[in-house]
Amino acid sequence: MDAWVPSVIAILAMILIPLMPKLLRLRLRFLRWLRWNWAANVLENHFQGWVLFARIILFVVAMVAVAVVLQS
């Protein structure tokens, strides 16, 4: 596997970490547009937890991608 693919994944994951609240708000608007109010309410009630969870996942993805780059 080329080293540039995991590098791009790591860079994108690190860029998305501070943007996660805006992305989740966009998801809220999309769910409300679909009239899935129950799903939007769950996301809205636990918003800080979802933001933290998504940031942790993105950080783990970035670290795994960096580890793959360093192994090759």
pLDDT single digits (tens) 16-35: 999 999 999 999 999 999 99
Across the range 27-52, mean pLDDT stands at 96
Count, residues in the chain: 72
Find out whether 66 and 5 touch, Cβ atoms under 8 Å.
Answer: no
Output the CA–CA distances (angstroms, integers) from residue 19 to 4, 39, 58, in the order listed: 23, 21, 11
1 confidence band (pLDDT: 50, 70, 90) = low
